Amino acid sequence: MARIIPIATDKDKAQAIAAATEVLLRHLPVAIPTETVYGLAADATHPAAITSIYETKGRPRFNPLICHMADIEMAERYADFDPISRQLAKAFWPGPMTLVLPLKDNCGIHPLATAGLDTVGIRVPVGFTAELIRSLGRPLAAPSANSSGRISPTTAQHVDADLGQKIEVIVDGGPCPVGVESTIVKVEDGEIRLLRPGGIAVEVIEAVTGKSVMRPKTSGTAAIEAPGMLASHYAPNAAVRLNATEVSGREALIAFGPGDISGASTAHAVFNLSPTADLTEAASNLFDYLKRADASGATGIAVAPIPDEGLGEAINDRLMRAAAPRGSEG
Ligand code: TXA
Ligand code: MG
């Protein structure tokens, strides 16, 4: 049974750092809050620690993990920054931006964390987790704190329901404000390439850098670029139907915006991601509402159309994975 530790006060935080550190030093994983989703964190420099993440999640080992750092100075000890990546780090860290960068030789990050690649995905999270990393003095590898292929957790209770029997400590930072995972980009030959849409919209990256962001040519390309981007992911038990313009009485509806959808009044359950059609609010509710719709006992989940701009790109990416045929789960 996991111990759930709040971080509402400075005293709580100190206790959470002490409890998490004690588990991390035994090379076991702890669940940590970030602004995007909860992570399952372990020492990125220690093979047993990283193995414990893969085992706890049931995650394929060819899928590299994001390494979390306390700040940009710490990140520069592990990876080489080109000028554009440094600009992105300065603009968006701490925050939901992961940079894939060349790994420095013998820097200490274990090859199990990077799945043997010569690059590493790095981000600096907001708040408690950066403090924990600074206190520990080493990077934390952390994928989302869910069983592989399932919906990412945005509350400590989500983590507890899925992994509570397998881990010792869950640090409870409340609901994650962003609600979708970080945006992953890789700078190559002076171009910014999007590997995964996420909590920072492409338009915002373009506005800050004055450069256009290259998207993968097809969704299939992303599977090769970011190995974790397997087609079926974020899989609820109920079948997910996208761009629904009507809903049946046995389905749950995930709505968006003020508009009415035919059959909504007799749907099995209705969850509106954002009644005012605010994509930031919708992202923060997405995973919780998918989980609730799934738990409602509905035969299927009908999802209203979501605009494909701003954070809508990340929302639609996750929804497409939730709707994809099963069998290729990551
Ligand atoms: O917001 C987030 O990014 C959350 C929180 C916990 O920080 N983490 C997260 O991690 O989503 P994870 O492990 O579920 O997703 C990591 C993604 C995978 O798709 C993986 O393939 C990709 O990052 N990735 C990691 N290192 C990479 C690398 N060196 N090259 C390409 N892709 C990489
Ligand atoms: Mg994940």
The Å distance, Cα 241 to ligand 1 centre, comes to 26
Question: What's the average model confidence in pLDDT over 259-265?
Answer: 94
Average pLDDT over residues 31-50: 98
HSE (side-chain half, CA atoms, 13 Å) at 255: 20
**pLDDT tens by residue, 226-239:** 544 555 667 788 99
Amino acid identity for residue 109 in this structure:
I
Q: How confident is the model at residue 98 (pLDDT cuts 50, 70, 90)?
A: very high
The position carrying tokens 């060349």 is 102
Alpha-carbon distance of 158 to 144, in angstroms, equals: 11
Atom of ligand 1 nearest to the CA of 184: 23
Residue 330 has pLDDT above 50, yes or no: no
117, burial (CB in 10 Å: exposed 0-12, middle 13-18, buried 19+):
middle
Q: Is 23 in the pocket of ligand 1 (CB under 6 A)?
A: no
Task: Report which of 136, 117, 144 is spatially closest to residue 20, judged by C-alpha positions.
Answer: 136
> What residues have a C-beta under 5 A from ligand 2, the ion?
144
Express as a percent the part of the chain with pLDDT over 70: 93
List the one residue out of 56, 143, 134, 129 whose CA is nearest residue 98.
143
Most confident residue range from 105-114, 209-218, 320-329:
105-114
Cβ 285 vs Cβ 177: under 8 Å = no
The predicted pLDDT at position 61 comes to 79
Tokens of 17: 């750092």
Q: Which pLDDT value is given to residue 237?
A: 87
Ligand 1 centre to CA of 73 (Å) is 21
State the greatest distance between any 2 C-alpha atoms of the chain, in Å, as a whole number: 61
What is the reported pLDDT for 235? 78
Q: From the CB of 272, is ligand 1 less than 6 Å away?
A: no
Which atom of ligand 1 lies closest to the CA of 98? 3
Say if ligand 1 is within 6 A of residue 119 CB.
Answer: yes
Q: Decide whether any atom of ligand 1 lies within 6 Å of the 143 Cβ.
A: yes
Residue 275 has pLDDT above 90, yes or no: yes
User: Which ligand is in closest contact with the Cα of 150?
Assistant: 2
Q: Work out the burial of residue 278: count CB atoms within 10 Å of its CB; fewer than 13 is exposed, 13-18 middle, 19 or more buried.
A: middle
Q: Does the Cβ of 223 fall within 6 Å of ligand 1? A: no
- Mean pLDDT (the chain) is 93
What pLDDT shows up at residue 6? 98
| C-beta of 142 in contact with ligand 1 (< 6 A) | yes
Centre of ligand 2 to C-alpha 152, Å, is 6
How far, in Å, from the CA of 263 to the mean position of ligand 2? 33
pLDDT at residue number 218: 58
Worst-scoring range by mean pLDDT, 121-135, 231-245, 285-299? 231-245
Give percent above pLDDT 90 in the chain.
Answer: 89
Ranges 35-39, 58-62, 161-165: which has the least confidence: 58-62
Nearest to 49 by CA among 130, 116, 112, 94: 112
When pLDDT is averaged across residues 62-86 and rounded to a whole number, the result is 96
- Global pTM reads 0.94
Q: How far apart are CA 10 and CA 316, in angstroms?
A: 38
By alpha-carbon position, which residue is closest to atom 29 of ligand 1? 120
Which ligand 1 atom minimizes the distance to the CA of 68?
Answer: 7
Could you tell me the two tokens for 290? 């998918």
Q: Is the pLDDT of residue 329 over 70?
A: no
Among protein residues, the one whose CA lies closest to atom 8 of ligand 1:
143
pLDDT at 217 over 80: no
Quick one: three-class SS letters along the chain? CCEEEECCCHHHHHHHHHHHHHHHCCCCCEEECCCCCCEEEEECCCHHHHHHHHHHHCCCCCCCCEEECCCHHHHHCCECCCHHHHHHHHHHCCCCEEEEEEECCCCCCCHHHHCCCCEEEEECCCCHHHHHHHHHCCCEECCECCCCCCCCCCCHHHHHHHHCCCCCEEEECCCCCCCCCCEEEEEECCEEEEEECCCCCHHHHHHHHCCCEECCCCHHHHHHHCCCCCCCCCCCCCEEECCCCECCCCEEEEECCCCCCECHHHCCEEEECCCCCCHHHHHHHHHHHHHHHHHCCCCEEEECCCCCCCCHHHHHHHHHHHHCCCCCCC
Give the per-residue pLDDT at 328. Answer: 42
The pLDDT score that the predictor gives to residue 231 is 58
Structure tokens at 140: 């934390």
pLDDT for the residue numbered 233: 67
* pLDDT reading at 222 higher than 50: no
What integer pLDDT is reported at residue 216 of this predicted model? 79
Q: Ligand 1 center to residue 144 CA distance, Å?
A: 9
